[in-house]
Copies of this chain bind each other. A is one copy, B any other.
Amino acid sequence: MAVKKNIGSNSISKIQSQRKRQPSVDELVTGIHKGDQSLLARAITLVESTQEAHQQKAYEIVEKCLSNAHDTLRIGITGVPGVGKSTFIESFGKMLTRLGKKVAVLAVDPSSTISKGSILGDKTRMQELVKDPKAFIRPSPSGDSLGGVARKTRESIILCEAAGYDIILVETVGVGQSETAVHSMVDFFLLLKLTGAGDELQGIKRGIVEMADAIVINKAEGNNIKRAQRAKSDFERALHLYPPKENNWTPKVLTCSSIERTGIAEIWEMIGEYHILNKKNGFFIRHRKDQNKFWFYQTVESLLKQQFYQDATIKEAITPLVQSVEKNTISPFRAAEKLLQVYRKRS
């Protein structure tokens, strides 16, 4: 408790001594609630750690940071590589901090490792935001599985919100199922697009357009403005064919130039409109509750499977069954039932 009292005074020697030893859960929680970026970063490191002891500590911290003050906004941003996500986040984030908002930028990129450098690792594209005291930028956690990365990012969102960040931007590349994961942890999902090069259809194909609350056509500058306008009309027409969203929101299509910083304020205005609508009709809170439940069941089932396939009895029994299934000497359904019988009967 003595340490806890001292944490307010930020003398260098104290910070150094804290860095040498692991700060306690209480120290970290207090630091986070005070908006201390370095303690927030250390807490996120615990969340990202695969060590059991760190995990337990991380859970305690997250638990103490959970809050029902729904005054934050989580925005997912996706788009294929090259669409200009980092530059967009730089422009958009700077505009938000200028409005007095505190902005945290996180990323979900299951393919990244710390050494290889994740999508946000290249901070040169966010030079201004990196230096902004109102912004907190954290690259994607490395992780073997999307599930792991998603969990870590979701817990990090909680910590950033506890540290006073109003707007959480979660960036993701269009790889595999990562958009779906990000879509399930944000309040608003924004799809960045370019004009031309078959990019329109490639997006539609993956079902991302269906998830998007807005499509923003980036790089609407110079010679590209006309094409961007045409792409806007195309998307607007295409979106009309989709069934209306549960919250009565009609997804919007906008254009912007991240480099010339045009159209950025309009995007924020549109998100504000969405936010007001959802607060009014109760969708905002219901949606967050549903997301909590989604991640609960998702995790339950992934842990359940993990436990099952790692069971020694199952490991032994599964190989001959899979072989028989492949050789077509047993029906897959019967083989599955047999395996479950083994599981039920194991001591």
Question: What residues make up the interface of A, taking CB atoms closer than 8 Å to B?
Answer: 59, 62-63, 66-68, 151, 154-155, 158, 198, 201-202, 204-207, 209-210, 238, 241-242, 288-289, 292-301, 303-305, 307-308, 321-322, 325-337, 339-340, 343-344
Contacts and interface: CB of A to CB of B under 8 A. Distances in A.
Nearest to A56: B334
6 contacts: A66-B328, A66-B331, A155-B333, A158-B331, A293-B322, A293-B326
Nearest to A304: B308
B242 A307 contact: no
Contact of A340 (B293, B307, B330, B343): B307
A335 to B, nearest CB: 5
B151 A326 contact: no
A314 to B, nearest CB: 9
Contacts of A210: 205
A317 to B, nearest CB: 11
User: How many copies of this chain does the complex contain?
Assistant: 2
Contacts of A293: 322, 325-326, 332
A334 B62 contact: yes
Closest 10 CB pairs of A and B: A299-B336, A295-B332, A296-B332, A300-B336, A303-B340, A296-B325, A198-B241, A292-B325, A201-B241, A59-B334
A47 B303 CA distance: 32
SS class, residues of chain A in contact with chain B: helix
Contacts of A207: 205-207
B63 A334 contact: yes
Contacts of A331: 59, 62-63, 66, 155, 158
Interface centre among A62, A68, A299 (most CB of B within 10 A): A299
Given A241-B201, A292-B325, A292-B326, A303 B337 contact: yes
A330 B293 CA distance: 11
Nearest to A147: B333
A59 B151 CA distance: 41
A198 B242 CA distance: 10
Contact of A329 (B66, B201, B294): B66
A294 B322 CA distance: 10
B295 A333 contact: yes
A300 B66 contact: no
Interface centre among A66, A289, A292 (most CB of B within 10 A): A292
Contacts of A326: 289, 292-293
